[in-house]
Amino acid sequence: MGLKIGIVGLPNVGKSTLFNALTRTAAAQAANFPFCTIEPNIGEVAIPDARLEKLARVAKSQHLVPARMSFVDIAGLVKGASKGEGLGNQFLGNIRECDAVIYVLRCFDDPNVIHVANAIDPISDAEVVETELMLADLESLEKRVNGLDKRAKQGDKEARISLGLVNRALALLRDGKSARLVKPADAEEEKAFRELQLLTAKPALYVCNVDEASAATGNEYSKLVEDYARTHNAGCVVISAEIESQLAQLPDAEEAEFLATLGLDEPALNKLIREGYKLLGLQTYFTAGPKEARAWTIHKGDRAPQAAGVIHSDFERGFIRAQTIAFDDYIALGGEVPAKEAGKARDEGKEYVVKDGDVMLFRFNT
Protein backbone atom coordinates (compact mmCIF):
# COMPACT_ATOMS: atom_id res chain seq x y z
CA MET A 1 0.00 0.00 0.00
CA GLY A 2 3.04 2.28 0.09
CA LEU A 3 2.46 3.47 3.67
CA LYS A 4 5.42 4.90 5.58
CA ILE A 5 6.13 5.56 9.25
CA GLY A 6 8.76 8.18 10.06
CA ILE A 7 11.18 7.66 12.96
CA VAL A 8 11.97 11.03 14.53
CA GLY A 9 13.59 12.49 17.63
CA LEU A 10 16.47 14.56 18.87
CA PRO A 11 20.03 13.55 17.90
CA ASN A 12 21.55 10.60 19.79
CA VAL A 13 18.34 9.09 21.17
CA GLY A 14 18.77 5.78 19.30
CA LYS A 15 16.77 6.40 16.11
CA SER A 16 19.31 4.91 13.73
CA THR A 17 20.08 1.99 16.06
CA LEU A 18 16.36 1.23 16.15
CA PHE A 19 16.08 1.54 12.37
CA ASN A 20 19.05 -0.78 11.87
CA ALA A 21 17.42 -3.39 14.09
CA LEU A 22 14.06 -2.99 12.35
CA THR A 23 15.53 -3.58 8.94
CA ARG A 24 18.23 -5.99 10.15
CA THR A 25 20.82 -3.89 8.30
CA ALA A 26 23.49 -1.36 9.09
CA ALA A 27 22.08 0.96 6.43
CA ALA A 28 21.70 3.88 8.82
CA GLN A 29 25.05 5.02 10.25
CA ALA A 30 24.74 4.97 14.02
CA ALA A 31 27.31 7.37 15.47
CA ASN A 32 27.76 9.34 18.66
CA PHE A 33 27.40 12.82 17.19
CA PRO A 34 24.49 14.96 15.97
CA PHE A 35 23.26 14.76 12.36
CA CYS A 36 24.91 11.45 11.54
CA THR A 37 21.70 10.77 9.61
CA ILE A 38 21.24 13.40 6.91
CA GLU A 39 19.37 11.72 4.08
CA PRO A 40 16.39 9.67 5.27
CA ASN A 41 16.94 5.91 5.09
CA ILE A 42 13.94 3.81 4.10
CA GLY A 43 13.52 0.15 4.97
CA GLU A 44 10.69 -2.33 4.49
CA VAL A 45 9.89 -4.72 7.32
CA ALA A 46 7.68 -7.79 7.51
CA ILE A 47 4.68 -7.62 9.86
CA PRO A 48 5.07 -10.38 12.49
CA ASP A 49 1.94 -12.52 12.34
CA ALA A 50 1.92 -16.08 13.72
CA ARG A 51 -1.31 -16.77 11.82
CA LEU A 52 0.48 -16.85 8.46
CA GLU A 53 2.64 -19.84 9.37
CA LYS A 54 -0.39 -21.75 10.71
CA LEU A 55 -2.26 -21.00 7.50
CA ALA A 56 0.65 -22.19 5.36
CA ARG A 57 0.84 -25.48 7.26
CA VAL A 58 -2.84 -26.20 6.72
CA ALA A 59 -2.81 -25.11 3.07
CA LYS A 60 0.52 -26.91 2.47
CA SER A 61 1.84 -23.71 0.90
CA GLN A 62 5.35 -23.71 -0.57
CA HIS A 63 6.00 -20.05 0.23
CA LEU A 64 4.98 -17.53 2.89
CA VAL A 65 4.59 -13.87 1.94
CA PRO A 66 4.03 -11.60 4.96
CA ALA A 67 2.50 -8.12 4.86
CA ARG A 68 5.08 -5.35 4.79
CA MET A 69 5.44 -1.78 5.95
CA SER A 70 8.04 0.94 5.39
CA PHE A 71 9.96 2.79 8.09
CA VAL A 72 11.90 5.99 7.42
CA ASP A 73 14.87 7.03 9.57
CA ILE A 74 14.72 10.84 9.55
CA ALA A 75 17.55 13.21 10.52
CA GLY A 76 17.69 14.33 14.15
CA LEU A 77 15.77 17.49 14.99
CA VAL A 78 16.93 20.45 17.06
CA LYS A 79 15.12 23.45 18.53
CA GLY A 80 14.44 25.98 15.77
CA ALA A 81 13.80 23.38 13.07
CA SER A 82 10.53 25.12 12.15
CA LYS A 83 12.66 28.16 11.22
CA GLY A 84 15.21 26.11 9.32
CA GLU A 85 17.73 25.48 12.13
CA GLY A 86 19.92 22.40 11.76
CA LEU A 87 18.35 20.32 9.02
CA GLY A 88 14.93 21.75 9.83
CA ASN A 89 13.37 22.32 6.42
CA GLN A 90 14.49 18.92 5.16
CA PHE A 91 13.37 17.28 8.40
CA LEU A 92 9.88 18.76 8.20
CA GLY A 93 9.54 17.86 4.53
CA ASN A 94 10.49 14.24 5.25
CA ILE A 95 7.88 13.99 8.01
CA ARG A 96 5.21 15.48 5.75
CA GLU A 97 5.73 12.57 3.34
CA CYS A 98 5.06 9.99 6.08
CA ASP A 99 1.67 8.62 7.13
CA ALA A 100 2.48 8.34 10.85
CA VAL A 101 5.30 9.29 13.20
CA ILE A 102 7.29 7.38 15.81
CA TYR A 103 8.95 9.62 18.40
CA VAL A 104 12.04 7.91 19.81
CA LEU A 105 12.75 9.25 23.30
CA ARG A 106 15.90 8.62 25.30
CA CYS A 107 14.98 6.88 28.55
CA PHE A 108 18.41 5.72 29.69
CA ASP A 109 21.44 7.18 31.47
CA ASP A 110 24.83 6.76 29.84
CA PRO A 111 27.64 9.32 30.31
CA ASN A 112 29.37 7.92 27.22
CA VAL A 113 26.50 8.94 24.91
CA ILE A 114 26.14 12.71 24.67
CA HIS A 115 22.77 14.44 24.80
CA VAL A 116 22.24 17.71 22.93
CA ALA A 117 20.68 19.29 26.05
CA ASN A 118 23.16 17.67 28.49
CA ALA A 119 20.24 16.25 30.52
CA ILE A 120 18.06 13.16 30.28
CA ASP A 121 14.45 14.35 30.14
CA PRO A 122 12.27 12.41 27.65
CA ILE A 123 9.24 14.66 28.20
CA SER A 124 11.28 17.76 27.39
CA ASP A 125 12.66 15.96 24.32
CA ALA A 126 9.14 15.08 23.18
CA GLU A 127 8.01 18.65 23.70
CA VAL A 128 10.92 20.04 21.66
CA VAL A 129 9.97 17.85 18.70
CA GLU A 130 6.25 18.45 19.10
CA THR A 131 6.73 22.21 19.50
CA GLU A 132 8.69 22.47 16.27
CA LEU A 133 5.99 20.54 14.44
CA MET A 134 3.28 22.72 16.00
CA LEU A 135 5.09 25.91 14.98
CA ALA A 136 5.37 24.62 11.42
CA ASP A 137 1.64 23.78 11.41
CA LEU A 138 0.75 27.19 12.84
CA GLU A 139 2.67 28.97 10.12
CA SER A 140 1.11 26.79 7.42
CA LEU A 141 -2.48 27.31 8.66
CA GLU A 142 -2.19 31.03 9.32
CA LYS A 143 -1.20 31.54 5.68
CA ARG A 144 -4.40 29.81 4.53
CA VAL A 145 -7.00 31.61 6.64
CA ASN A 146 -7.58 34.70 4.50
CA GLY A 147 -7.90 32.78 1.26
CA LEU A 148 -10.28 30.22 2.75
CA ASP A 149 -12.33 32.95 4.43
CA LYS A 150 -12.74 34.81 1.16
CA ARG A 151 -13.82 31.67 -0.73
CA ALA A 152 -16.18 30.59 2.08
CA LYS A 153 -17.95 33.98 1.97
CA GLN A 154 -18.42 33.47 -1.77
CA GLY A 155 -20.35 30.27 -1.05
CA ASP A 156 -17.59 27.70 -1.59
CA LYS A 157 -18.71 24.71 0.52
CA GLU A 158 -15.29 22.99 0.56
CA ALA A 159 -13.62 26.21 1.69
CA ARG A 160 -16.19 26.61 4.46
CA ILE A 161 -15.50 23.07 5.74
CA SER A 162 -11.73 23.57 5.53
CA LEU A 163 -11.92 26.96 7.25
CA GLY A 164 -13.82 25.46 10.18
CA LEU A 165 -11.18 22.75 10.56
CA VAL A 166 -8.34 25.26 10.23
CA ASN A 167 -9.81 27.43 12.99
CA ARG A 168 -10.28 24.43 15.28
CA ALA A 169 -6.70 23.31 14.66
CA LEU A 170 -5.35 26.82 15.20
CA ALA A 171 -7.15 27.09 18.56
CA LEU A 172 -5.46 23.88 19.72
CA LEU A 173 -2.03 24.79 18.36
CA ARG A 174 -2.10 28.25 19.96
CA ASP A 175 -2.92 26.50 23.23
CA GLY A 176 0.15 24.29 22.86
CA LYS A 177 -1.79 21.19 21.77
CA SER A 178 -1.37 19.09 18.66
CA ALA A 179 -3.83 19.05 15.78
CA ARG A 180 -4.19 15.32 16.46
CA LEU A 181 -6.87 16.30 18.99
CA VAL A 182 -9.17 17.69 16.25
CA LYS A 183 -12.04 15.24 15.76
CA PRO A 184 -13.64 15.52 12.29
CA ALA A 185 -17.42 15.17 12.53
CA ASP A 186 -17.98 13.10 9.38
CA ALA A 187 -16.32 11.60 6.29
CA GLU A 188 -16.42 14.95 4.48
CA GLU A 189 -14.54 16.68 7.30
CA GLU A 190 -12.18 13.72 7.58
CA LYS A 191 -11.19 14.09 3.92
CA ALA A 192 -10.75 17.87 4.21
CA PHE A 193 -8.68 17.49 7.37
CA ARG A 194 -6.31 14.99 5.72
CA GLU A 195 -5.81 17.42 2.85
CA LEU A 196 -4.46 20.03 5.29
CA GLN A 197 -1.41 17.72 5.68
CA LEU A 198 -0.68 18.85 9.22
CA LEU A 199 2.41 17.42 10.85
CA THR A 200 0.86 17.22 14.32
CA ALA A 201 -2.28 15.54 12.98
CA LYS A 202 -0.38 12.42 11.98
CA PRO A 203 -0.93 9.37 14.20
CA ALA A 204 1.88 9.19 16.76
CA LEU A 205 3.65 6.52 18.77
CA TYR A 206 6.16 7.29 21.53
CA VAL A 207 9.01 4.77 21.77
CA CYS A 208 10.85 4.73 25.09
CA ASN A 209 14.42 3.65 24.38
CA VAL A 210 15.50 2.16 27.72
CA ASP A 211 18.65 0.48 29.04
CA GLU A 212 19.02 -3.30 28.88
CA ALA A 213 18.05 -3.82 32.55
CA SER A 214 14.74 -2.00 31.97
CA ALA A 215 13.75 -3.76 28.74
CA ALA A 216 11.16 -6.03 30.37
CA THR A 217 9.64 -3.66 32.92
CA GLY A 218 10.45 -0.10 31.82
CA ASN A 219 11.84 2.53 34.20
CA GLU A 220 10.94 5.86 35.80
CA TYR A 221 11.59 7.69 32.53
CA SER A 222 9.35 5.41 30.46
CA LYS A 223 6.52 5.63 32.99
CA LEU A 224 6.54 9.42 32.58
CA VAL A 225 6.31 8.97 28.82
CA GLU A 226 3.41 6.52 29.13
CA ASP A 227 1.44 9.13 31.07
CA TYR A 228 2.39 11.83 28.56
CA ALA A 229 1.30 9.68 25.60
CA ARG A 230 -2.14 9.07 27.12
CA THR A 231 -2.80 12.82 27.32
CA HIS A 232 -1.65 13.38 23.73
CA ASN A 233 -3.83 10.77 22.03
CA ALA A 234 -0.77 8.68 21.16
CA GLY A 235 0.51 5.16 21.73
CA CYS A 236 3.58 4.14 23.73
CA VAL A 237 6.05 1.22 23.51
CA VAL A 238 9.04 0.39 25.73
CA ILE A 239 12.05 -0.94 23.85
CA SER A 240 15.81 -1.28 24.22
CA ALA A 241 17.23 -0.40 20.81
CA GLU A 242 20.60 -1.81 21.85
CA ILE A 243 19.10 -5.20 22.75
CA GLU A 244 17.08 -5.27 19.55
CA SER A 245 20.23 -4.45 17.60
CA GLN A 246 21.98 -7.44 19.21
CA LEU A 247 18.99 -9.69 18.55
CA ALA A 248 18.99 -8.70 14.89
CA GLN A 249 22.48 -10.15 14.52
CA LEU A 250 21.74 -13.49 16.23
CA PRO A 251 20.82 -16.70 14.39
CA ASP A 252 17.15 -17.59 14.87
CA ALA A 253 18.13 -20.65 16.93
CA GLU A 254 19.80 -18.48 19.58
CA GLU A 255 17.16 -15.76 19.74
CA ALA A 256 14.74 -17.48 22.14
CA GLU A 257 17.47 -18.27 24.68
CA PHE A 258 18.76 -14.70 24.61
CA LEU A 259 15.24 -13.32 25.11
CA ALA A 260 14.62 -15.68 28.03
CA THR A 261 17.71 -14.39 29.87
CA LEU A 262 16.21 -10.89 29.62
CA GLY A 263 12.72 -11.92 30.74
CA LEU A 264 11.20 -11.21 27.31
CA ASP A 265 8.75 -13.41 25.38
CA GLU A 266 9.50 -11.93 21.96
CA PRO A 267 11.56 -9.12 20.43
CA ALA A 268 10.09 -5.78 21.41
CA LEU A 269 10.42 -4.86 17.74
CA ASN A 270 7.54 -7.21 16.97
CA LYS A 271 5.30 -5.20 19.27
CA LEU A 272 6.58 -1.96 17.78
CA ILE A 273 5.80 -3.11 14.24
CA ARG A 274 2.33 -4.30 15.23
CA GLU A 275 1.67 -1.01 17.03
CA GLY A 276 2.78 0.86 13.92
CA TYR A 277 0.38 -1.25 11.85
CA LYS A 278 -2.43 -0.44 14.27
CA LEU A 279 -1.41 3.22 14.30
CA LEU A 280 -2.15 3.42 10.57
CA GLY A 281 -5.57 1.82 11.01
CA LEU A 282 -4.55 -1.30 9.09
CA GLN A 283 -5.58 -4.92 9.23
CA THR A 284 -4.76 -8.16 7.42
CA TYR A 285 -6.62 -10.64 5.30
CA PHE A 286 -5.11 -13.80 3.80
CA THR A 287 -5.05 -15.82 0.61
CA ALA A 288 -3.82 -19.41 0.76
CA GLY A 289 -3.07 -22.23 -1.64
CA PRO A 290 -0.39 -24.79 -2.53
CA LYS A 291 1.81 -22.14 -4.16
CA GLU A 292 1.78 -19.55 -1.36
CA ALA A 293 0.10 -18.29 1.79
CA ARG A 294 0.04 -14.51 1.74
CA ALA A 295 -0.95 -11.68 4.07
CA TRP A 296 -2.52 -8.60 2.46
CA THR A 297 -2.77 -5.17 4.05
CA ILE A 298 -6.00 -3.15 3.95
CA HIS A 299 -7.56 -0.38 6.01
CA LYS A 300 -10.05 -1.25 8.70
CA GLY A 301 -13.51 -0.74 7.21
CA ASP A 302 -12.50 -1.64 3.65
CA ARG A 303 -15.11 -3.60 1.71
CA ALA A 304 -14.48 -6.74 -0.33
CA PRO A 305 -13.87 -5.01 -3.71
CA GLN A 306 -11.28 -2.69 -2.11
CA ALA A 307 -9.54 -5.70 -0.58
CA ALA A 308 -9.50 -7.40 -3.97
CA GLY A 309 -7.99 -4.26 -5.50
CA VAL A 310 -4.93 -4.61 -3.27
CA ILE A 311 -4.05 -7.75 -5.23
CA HIS A 312 -4.78 -6.18 -8.63
CA SER A 313 -6.89 -3.25 -9.82
CA ASP A 314 -8.65 -5.60 -12.29
CA PHE A 315 -9.95 -7.62 -9.32
CA GLU A 316 -11.69 -4.54 -7.93
CA ARG A 317 -13.09 -3.36 -11.27
CA GLY A 318 -14.48 -6.79 -12.17
CA PHE A 319 -15.42 -7.92 -8.65
CA ILE A 320 -18.28 -10.43 -8.50
CA ARG A 321 -18.01 -12.00 -5.04
CA ALA A 322 -15.54 -13.22 -2.45
CA GLN A 323 -15.45 -16.66 -0.89
CA THR A 324 -14.67 -15.89 2.74
CA ILE A 325 -13.64 -18.19 5.58
CA ALA A 326 -12.87 -16.93 9.09
CA PHE A 327 -9.27 -17.69 10.05
CA ASP A 328 -10.23 -19.74 13.13
CA ASP A 329 -12.63 -21.87 11.06
CA TYR A 330 -10.01 -22.41 8.34
CA ILE A 331 -7.46 -23.67 10.88
CA ALA A 332 -9.84 -25.68 13.08
CA LEU A 333 -11.52 -27.46 10.16
CA GLY A 334 -8.33 -28.12 8.20
CA GLY A 335 -8.54 -25.87 5.16
CA GLU A 336 -10.81 -24.66 2.38
CA VAL A 337 -12.53 -27.91 1.39
CA PRO A 338 -13.49 -29.03 4.94
CA ALA A 339 -14.65 -25.46 5.68
CA LYS A 340 -16.92 -25.57 2.62
CA GLU A 341 -18.30 -28.96 3.66
CA ALA A 342 -19.02 -27.57 7.15
CA GLY A 343 -20.86 -24.57 5.69
CA LYS A 344 -18.22 -22.13 6.93
CA ALA A 345 -17.24 -20.77 3.49
CA ARG A 346 -19.45 -17.76 2.72
CA ASP A 347 -19.98 -15.94 -0.57
CA GLU A 348 -19.81 -12.24 0.23
CA GLY A 349 -20.78 -9.38 -2.08
CA LYS A 350 -19.66 -5.81 -2.71
CA GLU A 351 -20.93 -4.44 0.61
CA TYR A 352 -19.10 -6.93 2.80
CA VAL A 353 -16.74 -5.24 5.27
CA VAL A 354 -13.63 -7.42 5.48
CA LYS A 355 -12.69 -8.67 8.94
CA ASP A 356 -9.14 -9.04 10.22
CA GLY A 357 -7.92 -12.57 9.49
CA ASP A 358 -10.45 -13.44 6.78
CA VAL A 359 -9.17 -16.04 4.31
CA MET A 360 -10.49 -14.94 0.91
CA LEU A 361 -10.79 -16.11 -2.69
CA PHE A 362 -12.10 -13.58 -5.20
CA ARG A 363 -14.30 -14.13 -8.26
CA PHE A 364 -14.15 -11.40 -10.89
CA ASN A 365 -14.85 -10.61 -14.54
CA THR A 366 -11.83 -10.06 -16.78
**pLDDT, tens only, 300-321:** 999 999 999 999 999 999 999 9
pLDDT for the residue 79:
55
Total domain count, the chain: 2
Residue 352 belongs to a domain with what CATH number?
3.10.20.30
Same domain for 223 and 264, yes or no, is yes
pLDDT for the residue 130:
87
pLDDT for the residue 30:
42
CA 158 – CA 143 distance, rounded (Å): 17
Minimum mean pLDDT range among 51-55, 73-77, 139-143:
73-77
Strand (E) or helix (H) holding 285: strand 282-288
Q: How confident is the model at residue 26 (pLDDT cuts 50, 70, 90)?
A: very low
- Which residue numbers belong to the known binding site? 12-17
CA 270 – CA 49 distance, rounded (Å): 9
Same domain for 319 and 356, yes or no, is yes
pLDDT tens profile 339-354: 999 999 999 999 999 9
Domain boundary among 246, 279, 312: 279
Whether residue 296 is contained in a domain is answered as: no
Whether residue 286 is contained in a domain is answered as: no
Strand (E) or helix (H) holding 72: strand 68-73
- Whether 333 and 342 have beta carbons less than 8 Å apart is answered as yes
Closest CA to 232 of 178, 186, 182, 274: 178
pLDDT tens profile 202-246: 999 999 999 988 988 889 999 999 999 988 888 899 999 888 888
pLDDT for the residue 148:
93
Same domain for 306 and 215, yes or no, is no
Q: Is the pLDDT of residue 80 over 70?
A: no
- Going by the DSSP 8-state scheme, the letter that residue 36 receives in this structure is -
Q: Is the pLDDT of residue 28 over 50?
A: no
Q: Phi and psi (nearest 5°) for 158? A: -60, -40
pLDDT for the residue 263:
82
pLDDT for the residue 206:
94
pLDDT for the residue 29:
39
Q: Is the pLDDT of residue 160 over 90?
A: yes
pLDDT for the residue 346:
95
Same domain for 245 and 344, yes or no, is no
Whether residue 104 is contained in a domain is answered as: yes
Same domain for 318 and 266, yes or no, is no
Domain range holding 322? 301-364
Same domain for 259 and 326, yes or no, is no
Angle of the 241-249 helix axis to the 252-261 helix axis, nearest 10:
150
Residue 325: strand, helix, or coil: strand
Same domain for 332 and 239, yes or no, is no
Q: Is the pLDDT of residue 88 over 50?
A: no
Same domain for 184 and 267, yes or no, is yes
- Which residue numbers belong to the known binding site for ATP? 12-17
pLDDT for the residue 31:
41
How does the average pLDDT of the chain come out, rounded?
Answer: 86
- Whether 71 and 27 have beta carbons less than 8 Å apart is answered as no
Alpha carbon 277 to its chain centroid, in Å, reads: 5
CA 298 – CA 294 distance, rounded (Å): 13
Higher pLDDT pick, 75 / 284: 284
Same domain for 320 and 200, yes or no, is no
- Over range 95-123, report the average pLDDT: 81
Q: How confident is the model at residue 161 (pLDDT cuts 50, 70, 90)?
A: very high
Same domain for 267 and 314, yes or no, is no
pLDDT tens profile 246-291: 887 888 778 888 888 888 888 888 888 888 888 888 999 999 999 9
Q: Is the pLDDT of residue 78 over 60?
A: no
Whether residue 162 is contained in a domain is answered as: yes
- Whether 61 and 292 have beta carbons less than 8 Å apart is answered as yes
pLDDT for the residue 223:
95
Alpha carbon 214 to its chain centroid, in Å, reads: 24
Bridge partner list, 238: 208
Statement: the pTM of the whole predicted model exceeds 0.85: no
Whether residue 262 is contained in a domain is answered as: yes
Same domain for 305 and 202, yes or no, is no
Whether residue 117 is contained in a domain is answered as: yes
Residue 194 belongs to a domain with what CATH number?
3.40.50.300
Highest mean pLDDT among 18-27, 66-75, 196-205, 295-304: 295-304
Same domain for 12 and 138, yes or no, is yes
Whether residue 292 is contained in a domain is answered as: no
Q: Which residues of 313-332 are buried (b: 16+ CB within 10 A; e: fewer)?
A: eebbeebebbbbbbbebbbe
pLDDT for the residue 81:
46
- Over range 65-91, report the average pLDDT: 66
pLDDT for the residue 77:
59
Minimum mean pLDDT range among 75-89, 124-138, 246-260, 295-309:
75-89
- Over range 117-136, report the average pLDDT: 85
